[in-house]
Structure 1
Amino acid sequence: MTRTLLLLLLVWTSSALIRVPLRRGPSIRSQLRASGQLEDFLKEHRPDMFNRRYAQCFPPGTPSLRLGRSSEKIYNFMDAQFYGLISLGSPDQNFSVVFDTGSSDLWVPSTYCVSQACALHRRFRAFESSSFHHDGRMFGIHYGSGHLLGVIGRDSLKVAGLTVLNQEFGESVYEPGAAFVMAKFDGVLGMGYPSLAEILGNPVFDNMVAQKTVQESVFSFYLSRGTSSGTPEGELLLGGTDEAKYSGPINWLPVTAKGYWQIKMDSVAVQGVSSFCPHGCQAIVDTGTSLIAGPTNEILSLQQLIGASPTNIGEFLIDCVRLSSLPHVTFVLGGKEYTLTAEQYVRKEMLGDRELCFSGFQAVDIVSPEGPLWILGDVFLTEFYSIFDRGQDRVGLASAKHAVSNSKPSVTSR
């Protein structure tokens, strides 16, 4: 996970709408750069980056983006994670978590965790909580970089001042791999369907609905783009939608499989030509994945069409000088075209006085009964306000309103 989002949680409550502001934090690349290690790291792994000679072949395999049960690697590519504060126990113990629509479990590190990752993060102390109930069961969640092991418990959970009683959650006791060592967040709060959960019991939002702590069985995300300082940059709204955060009509898409927030995608076009899944395919709307992902063969073709070249650190580079001439990429969903310009699907990083441009697309293979899945991650969701409606099993998308915008996303009807 190479970019995480710094946590900030402020509360505003009205008619059972709970606002969870979110802020970006420094990426691992940024941390390496600040410590003076990034240039040496890139020179070691990608020396030709510095004399502008780019490889013309693609690597035989590409790690995964998915924060979940896939067998692909994830920690190199999480460049736009968003996270916020929660608290567990009595009295409160605070943790930062990713609000992840691509998983359904809540877990935080345990004070008994033996991994290096836990030593660098806040850990839950069950013996200090008067409301904690030990479950006795073990759980395991598999990630591309390894696996997570822990024990299950129940306790009071607070999100933006909203209390959920007897929430099942995991205490991790073993977190192998570099992904969690470098992460700025402590754990994950999954917001997918119950069938996706590894931990038995209701996911957090299901308990919110069951305990009638939200007005509607709806939550929505506003994920801002770019960087700023001193103010929250994104928002999770529990219990409804915020009309001030989007413009135009909402395009509602029915959920096609109740695990992920999975929808049908009509096609993917490059510069107006339908290049991928021309007969329709399935896509996941996933706040826990930073990039836009798809089947390996299609994404590698897409990288070539936008002029991206691979690096040995799992990224794809684009010549920043060529951005204005790169093709638009359009995703057709529910008959509407969602078009991203190169400025929107390219991520920029400064290395000293040198600007590097990284592709916002990545290959990952997830097989489902409906066929290979695409992932509409944060590169897509920063441009579009996303609404997750459990009551009617549908996802809504509308153009996000950004305070400062040099290039607006395009939404058109076909």
Structure 2
Amino acid sequence: MPKLNRSYPLIFFFIVAVSATVRPHSGIPTPQLKSTPIPRGATTGGISIPLRRRAVFTNSAGVFDKTKALAATVATQNKHRQNLINLEKNKGRAAFNAGAVIKPVATIPTDILDELIKLKLKRQAEPLTDENQDVEWAGPISIGTPPQNFIIDFDTGSSDLWVPSAACTSSVCSTKSKFSANSSSTSALQTGTFQIEYGDGSQVTGPIYTDTVNVAGVGAAKQTFSAVTTLSPSFEGDPADGILGMAFPSISNLRQNPFFTSAHAEGTVPTNAFAFFLSQNNSELYLGGTNPALFVNGTLEFHAINPKSGFWQIPGASAKVDSTVAVTNFETIVDTGTTLIYGPPDAVKTLYAAIPGSAVFDATNGLYSFPCDSVPNVAFNWGGLDRSITADNFNLGLTAVGSSACVGALVGLDLGLGTGIWLLGDSFMKNVYTVFDFNKTAVGFAGIAV
């Protein structure tokens, strides 16, 4: 896949005159708040950052791309495995959700790995073909003095920032922008090593630094991050150079504040909240409040989270199929770094049982199908409005060429995050405008402007 053109899109700045105080994370569970409507314009402005969209798991023939979906699922499993390892080191097992367990490293099945190798060879043979639009919710940042530019995947399901190092000489790093500590007058090497393990047996590892990090004018003067010297082949062909985590400090591998927490503490962002608008076009990360032009009806509905686990985790959820409430009283982690929706296998089985004509597509991997001509209206609710998933976002494609069955974006898989914990990725988030508010200790949803 060709390197992204680094002529960055126009960034819009919004001026505000509002002050906010930092409320430190206490690790104490917050009681569930009643869903609170917030009038349009009540939230503060901030800075808008255009994002490039993530790939979908549907090939050019309209068929579900199981190879890519399963590879992404393994990456999701191992990301959250690492989060639990980090949480245990930082806060102890007492911070775990009930039933949470650190599972063994998930591995990519041999047949899937072989298929991925074939796809890699095909990309190498046809370097100008972007057959799967393999991009993420990524945008530009800079690190160092003078600034070194990177394209970053903004991830609410993790808490660390890392980019490739100039010392990384592998083929995976050859298409990436790389950080040179020697070229930055503000760079400072720290003690320790950053390390994450991936399902193909590889790792992302590197030294730890502090330096100036800037995202569209929002800056942190001494932000901790890693410049990785080894990069997993899992990132081959990925147009993002690295990841910027936006969850809570308690799941940080670096054991430091994430970028947004640092930026707000330094007063470079007006409000201690950020928001995502994810869509086919014109996706946006908004730092320091909300962009009212992107949500409808003039309201946001906030739901208190339990930050003890380190995630943007909302309790009190239910799931519906059309008018039928299928599953109740579970918790949801909202994760921009994940594409699909994952729930406990038994709960997901119960939900699909409420969908007429649904069937098991792949029992081993928790995949289900449904009649393509009758896409169900699946919705989540936290005590307020239903948040429905559109047909386009629930449908991952045909089970096979000529089939009348399609694969659903809801997967039955135990990620080890705890009893009754669901993970809501892009397939859900593309249906709502989502606000992550540290001061309210809450996540807000609104209908998106079409």
Relative to the length of structure 1, the TM-score reads 0.76
Deviations 1:277-302 (A, max 9, x none): x2x11110111111111123333554
Change (3 A) 1:336 1:216: same
Change (3 A) 1:159 1:264: same
Deviations 1:80-131 (A, max 9, x none): 7311011111222111111111000000011222543222322111111111
**Whole-Å separation in 1 of the counterparts to 2:377 and 2:306:** 27
Kept in 2: contact 1:149–1:175 (CA 8 A)? yes
Kept in 2: contact 1:65–1:364 (CA 8 A)? no
Deviations 1:21-41 (A, max 9, x none): 1122656876xx69xxx99x9
Structure 2: 5+ residue stretches without partners: 17-45, 82-104, 117-131
More strand by proportion, 1 or 2? 1
Q: 1:235 aligns with which of 284, 294, 302?
A: 284
Kept in 2: contact 1:6–1:83 (CA 8 A)? no
Aligned length: 366
Compare 213-222 and 289-298 and name the one that shifted more: 289-298
Deviations 1:357-393 (A, max 9, x none): 5421223323346x23101111111110000111121
Deviations 1:14-60 (A, max 9, x none): 22611111122656876xx69xxx99x979x8xxxxxxxxxxxxx9x
Structure 2 match to 1:211? 266
Please report the RMSD computed on the Cα atoms of aligned residues, expressed in angstroms: 3.8
Offset at residue 337 of structure 1 (A): 1.8
**Whole-Å separation in 1 of the counterparts to 2:229 and 2:172:** 10
Deviations 1:154-176 (A, max 9, x none): 11111113332111101112223
Percent identity reads 33
Structure 2 match to 1:164? 220
Compare 65-74 and 192-201 and name the one that shifted more: 65-74
Structure 1 match to 2:32? none
Q: 1:310 aligns with which of 350, 355, 361?
A: 361
Q: 2:147 aligns with which of 92, 95, 112?
A: 92
Kept in 2: contact 1:153–1:171 (CA 8 A)? yes
Structure 1 match to 2:29? none
Matched, 1:286 2:315: no
Change (3 A) 1:317 1:6: farther
Change (3 A) 1:354 1:298: closer
Q: Which amino acid in structure 2 is aligned with residue 386 of structure 1?
A: T
Q: Which amino acid in structure 1 is aligned with residue 207 of structure 2?
A: V
Offset at residue 346 of structure 1 (A): 1.2
**Whole-Å separation in 2 of the counterparts to 1:398 and 1:118:** 39
Compare 133-142 and 97-106 and name the one that shifted more: 133-142
Kept in 1: contact 2:55–2:133 (CA 8 A)? no
Structure 2 match to 1:19? 48
Change (3 A) 1:365 1:26: closer
Change (3 A) 1:64 1:150: closer
Kept in 1: contact 2:326–2:354 (CA 8 A)? no
Higher relative contact order (CA 8 A, sep 6+): 2
Structure 2 match to 1:401? 449
Structure 1 match to 2:230? 174
Q: Which amino acid in structure 2 is aligned with residue 399 of structure 1?
A: G
Structure 1 match to 2:24? none
Relative to the length of structure 2, the TM-score reads 0.71
State the secondary structure of the residue aligned to 2:420.
strand
